[in-house]
Structure 1
């Protein structure tokens, strides 16, 4: 057994507890858009001054919520000195946060703030959900609260105490990680070929999550609450892995393809310039996963469990919602100005503009302002309804390994609605979700993604097929994005390749995440590169390398 503690210093042990509705075949107005992320996700995502608490005199001071979100973003992003500086006890806070995540092998926490509440004494409490990926084991999810108090001149500080890290962390109790080492079973691909796990490093965290057909294979462990003095276990907070040992006579069977997996890992290794990145490739006709790869390969499975704003790749879903109700046609004029103000100023990447552009041009050049200009054509919750009903996003998926299945909450104000049109605001997805979205868009039917042959079990995800006319339009738009738009970097590949690029804003302190989704033949691919700046420039080379390496 390998035991690891979330150690704390002795001093801490003693501490007390536009007018798009006027659609015309020659002139729909447009809008803008680099958006914002209100949730704190992989890599840390934060934006101030947006959402239901941006402005207005009722409710908690927006500055308190802003400070809480900034603290969570810094903690999630590993910027511990910055996070600690936002508290009333920076020295202790930095040491505790570092020991907590380091001692428990937590890689890239995902922290999502909830609704703030004011107390009679003027303090503010912001609840949050913590998803803590324990390296090689799984994700520990719990809820806690951030207390904040005013520090003068309109400034707020997180009122430091151990219990904000976890409600049970105290001066007398701490957490300990226990691992049980187990033999790595044989893993086979879809054709029964043994996968060389040592040569495919991204499979390590995936293997740890696979059910292996109920054999209980993979690593096991637990996070336990123990007495600081005696070490006595007081309770088990979370347990990872099955209760049975691996059976040597039964390999772990997967839907993976050895060629696709190998090509995906090489693409991430050679084309990401050392940045965090993730990729998923799956079959369009049945949802079976051919490759899932992460960079770095060890630790958190970003490809399947990450929570990212999908950026302009989400315009596939937005376009679907608009086309379903005939709110726009491909040849309608939807102007693309540099800027548009909807509570905040939105703009296009590099402040580009396309006066008199058609909707087709807006899609292929990924014009944010044009899409935001069409926001009045959709109800506040309509994007989420379309995402769930047709694409299965936000429903309970049964992939065969733990997955995050997306979130598309209804817009709470006009600014958030504008941001949602271009895949920002509180929208969250990952490469698995966006590969599935792409597959659904070009085939018309959602297929439950799975990494285990025959499906992962559980109830089928209820969805509605897309009309053929909408599928034809989506394919036309994605193909044109390759032949004449922002995904021109894929134009030299053989076969009919369609794609959509995406650039997702994270925070003022971080470069944008780069996205690209694509399809060719019976395969859909999605890739995200953290701080990749643009989708075409960062995720584009990764997808190009992958598709070039594997025959059509």
Structure 2
């Protein structure tokens, strides 16, 4: 790894500071590329091609394992089953597991592969299974691959490949507890209901039972007797104080209505979600999903945040004076760091400033600066200043983010642009935006009286000013120009996040205006500006320029 010292701070003697040249190409690590199967299940995209050879397990086996995880995660169960030694039963196992436990779209992340006895290849993976209306079930399992007579590799079809405790004698059962849906009101006392605001149905359900939300367990049971052998996962917390009367929320009926309408009119039938919250205190004004029923992906989803994460990457770089907005950081079409990375539509901006790299969302420029940060630094900044990865108490079940330390230089490169194994959702990215432009993290909340246990450090005023200025320039001169006709002092950051080699990219956009921060993701939206941009534009055009 390349660890560099601090770049000198900008001069304060009144003279214009010469712009430094931070060359992207000089920082590249050239490795011969070998394309092997599907690579995105390891989470290294976007726009990464080829894998570097090494002395580890056969790349063809690793590629087959990742392709299996890719297909499983995307719901291509016949294709996933076809990569196993017993396709006819593997498809049935995968289908029954998903449907029987009300699992939505899984997130499957491969870990470091190894060669086992007998020449088999073992690929561990982490599974994040979204259980409808309850939360995310996270566990670890592994794939075992064996070489076939024809020379190819297949995933050994065993029940344990789905989950280590699944077997011929044990299976899983989802038990849901009954929860009363309370009456609810917005911050001004306006009544809220799932009939009028469909996206709030899962939210209101989680406000029942004293705020503990829907409860349930995944149990391992004996296939023959149905006897419960153990509880694998528990969702929700039983409350000793039942909800009485009307629950007063932080939601705003005007913002919620506009958010629902924006998704209905602009999402083009794609899965999408949106969160809007107050910058000064973290109170959630709107949470919306399309489709509105089922899994609340806006607050519990697990997505690679793509280039919206460059808000945090920029913060990390600016905090240590590793770069300044006017420094030259070249933006070539391609950059190889174990894999070949490139920009959206293979764009390039030669001799660009770091500000330009931010506003045009240049992947290669950001990746070229990875040596300025230690391996843990991105995660430390996310946690220390933005609260990402700490335990949040929002008032409903949420996923609060993950920023693992990269396992190698290629994954570190991917992490710089919000890929690798970084996981977030619109709630997290709306909060990140609010923190970036105010300097202070406020734990998001949807109802009063929730316990706050996070501890964070304020961002320096200089860094906040630089982030606001770059986000503003992204609207006036960059990839978020779609928002430029809206009134108010508005800044934004777009993002594109790769899902797999066979699926269109997810589109992201985060924005701030007045005292409100917004984040939106559109699954298979291709680009942030093109897919999430119209949704955020529709929302902000329909609401006041600030929150009351």
In the other structure, the counterpart of 2:22 is: 28
Correspondences of 1:64-463 after superposition (within 5 Å): 64-152=61-149, 155-210=152-207, 213-214=210-211, 218-241=213-236, 243=238, 247=242, 249-454=244-449, 456-459=450-453, 461-463=454-456
RMSD: 2.9
The answer as to whether partners of 1:20 and 1:373 remain within 8 angstroms in 2 is no
The answer as to whether partners of 2:443 and 2:452 remain within 8 angstroms in 1 is no
Could you say what secondary structure the match of 2:192 adopts? coil
Q: Tell me, in whole angstroms, the C-alpha distance in 1 between the residues paired with 2:214 and 2:20.
A: 61
Shift of 1:220: 4.2
1:476 to 1:45, Cα distance in 2 relative to 1, 3 A: closer
Which 10-residue stretch deviates more, 138-147 or 76-85?
A: 138-147
Q: Tell me, in whole angstroms, the C-alpha distance in 2 between the residues paired with 1:484 and 1:377.
A: 27
In the other structure, the counterpart of 2:54 is: 56
Could you say what secondary structure the match of 2:341 adopts? strand
The answer as to whether partners of 2:272 and 2:291 remain within 8 angstroms in 1 is yes
1:318 to 1:152, Cα distance in 2 relative to 1, 3 A: farther
Shift of 1:236: 4.4
In the other structure, the counterpart of 1:482 is: 475
1:325 to 1:173, Cα distance in 2 relative to 1, 3 A: closer
The answer as to whether partners of 2:180 and 2:205 remain within 8 angstroms in 1 is no
In the other structure, the counterpart of 1:498 is: 491
Could you say what secondary structure the match of 1:202 adopts? helix
Could you say what secondary structure the match of 1:350 adopts? helix
Could you say what secondary structure the match of 2:520 adopts? strand
Gaps of 5+ in 1: 1-17
TM-score normalized by the length of structure 1: 0.87
Could you say what secondary structure the match of 2:130 adopts? strand
Which 10-residue stretch deviates more, 392-401 or 271-280?
A: 392-401
Q: Tell me, in whole angstroms, the C-alpha distance in 2 between the residues paired with 1:20 and 1:341.
A: 20
Q: Tell me, in whole angstroms, the C-alpha distance in 2 between the residues paired with 1:448 and 1:490.
A: 27
1:249 to 1:415, Cα distance in 2 relative to 1, 3 A: closer
The answer as to whether partners of 2:488 and 2:514 remain within 8 angstroms in 1 is yes
The answer as to whether partners of 1:20 and 1:30 remain within 8 angstroms in 2 is no
Could you say what secondary structure the match of 2:98 adopts? helix
TM-score normalized by the length of structure 2: 0.88
Q: Tell me, in whole angstroms, the C-alpha distance in 2 between the residues paired with 1:231 and 1:413.
A: 45
Shift of 1:426: 2.0
Correspondences of 1:5-24 after superposition (within 5 Å): none
1:443 to 1:170, Cα distance in 2 relative to 1, 3 A: same
Shift of 1:242: 5.0
In the other structure, the counterpart of 2:528 is: 535
The answer as to whether partners of 2:185 and 2:247 remain within 8 angstroms in 1 is yes
The answer as to whether partners of 1:38 and 1:426 remain within 8 angstroms in 2 is no
Q: Tell me, in whole angstroms, the C-alpha distance in 2 between the residues paired with 1:232 and 1:503.
A: 47
Shift of 1:38: 5.0
In the other structure, the counterpart of 1:12 is: none
Shift of 1:472: 0.7
Q: Tell me, in whole angstroms, the C-alpha distance in 1 between the residues paired with 2:124 and 2:391.
A: 24
The answer as to whether partners of 1:272 and 1:538 remain within 8 angstroms in 2 is yes
In the other structure, the counterpart of 1:10 is: none
The answer as to whether partners of 1:19 and 1:28 remain within 8 angstroms in 2 is no
1:47-70: CA deviations, max 9, x gaps? Answer: 8855xxx53214x33333332222
Count, aligned residues: 523
Which of 506, 513, 522 is matched with 1:513 structurally?
A: 506
Shift of 1:377: 2.0
1:529 to 1:83, Cα distance in 2 relative to 1, 3 A: same
The answer as to whether partners of 1:200 and 1:265 remain within 8 angstroms in 2 is yes
Gaps of 5+ in 2: 9-17, 29-38
The answer as to whether partners of 1:37 and 1:425 remain within 8 angstroms in 2 is no
Shift of 1:226: 3.7
Q: Tell me, in whole angstroms, the C-alpha distance in 1 between the residues paired with 2:93 and 2:389.
A: 34
Which of 534, 537, 541 is matched with 1:548 structurally?
A: 541
Q: Tell me, in whole angstroms, the C-alpha distance in 1 between the residues paired with 2:47 and 2:129.
A: 18
Q: Tell me, in whole angstroms, the C-alpha distance in 2 between the residues paired with 1:376 and 1:228.
A: 53
Shift of 1:527: 0.6
Shift of 1:387: 1.4
1:385-410: CA deviations, max 9, x gaps? Answer: 22122111222222222222222223
1:349 to 1:45, Cα distance in 2 relative to 1, 3 A: closer
Could you say what secondary structure the match of 1:402 adopts? coil
Could you say what secondary structure the match of 2:198 adopts? coil
Could you say what secondary structure the match of 2:433 adopts? helix
1:46 to 1:506, Cα distance in 2 relative to 1, 3 A: farther
